[in-house]
Amino acid sequence: MLNDFQIARVWENMLAAETRALYFADLTARYTRRKQWITGGSFFLSSGAAATLIGKAPTWVPILLALVVAGANAYVMAINLDRKIGTLAKLFSAWAQIASDYERLWSHARTEEAEGEFERIIDKERQPSELAAQEAPNDQKLLAQWQQHVFAMYHLKNQSA
């Protein structure tokens, strides 16, 4: 059975986990869109259609477009965009599961198993926290936006991060 302090922590941790899940989902979508734009742009600019369109352009235009394509592809490879997207998706999934675990615990905070479950969930946070610290962007402004969204979902007053 959880005491009042632990119950308050469950609530706070649940809100934080939901915020992180939404944050990583947003980052996953942003990086996926970025990859799609780069891939689509590269395919188009490397195609015969692009060559036809720029055939009568000044000589610097094809050179500039070739540099843009090369730069965009180098960016994708340098930051390993596919791996980053996969990592962000894993972080979303982990934090969504943790938020769900906290929500379930919140509903059963007065049971005998509650304290053990609380400790298990806290332990479960360690791995995604370490992965996020090593592999994920730390966009505090975006995180604060998702925190405000979560607070609004629960009809809480706006609070700072």
Cα 81 to Cα 109: distance, rounded to the nearest angstrom: 41
Check: pTM over 0.85? Answer yes or no: yes
Cα 105 to Cα 126: distance, rounded to the nearest angstrom: 18
161 pLDDT above the threshold of 50: no
Give the model confidence (pLDDT) of 31-53 as tens digits.
999 999 999 988 888 787 777 77
Average pLDDT, the chain: 93
Task: Say how far residue 62 (Cα) sits from the centre of its chain.
Answer: 36
What is the number of alpha carbons within 13 Å of residue 5 lying toward its C-beta? 0
Assess contact for 110 and 1: CB atoms under 8 A: yes
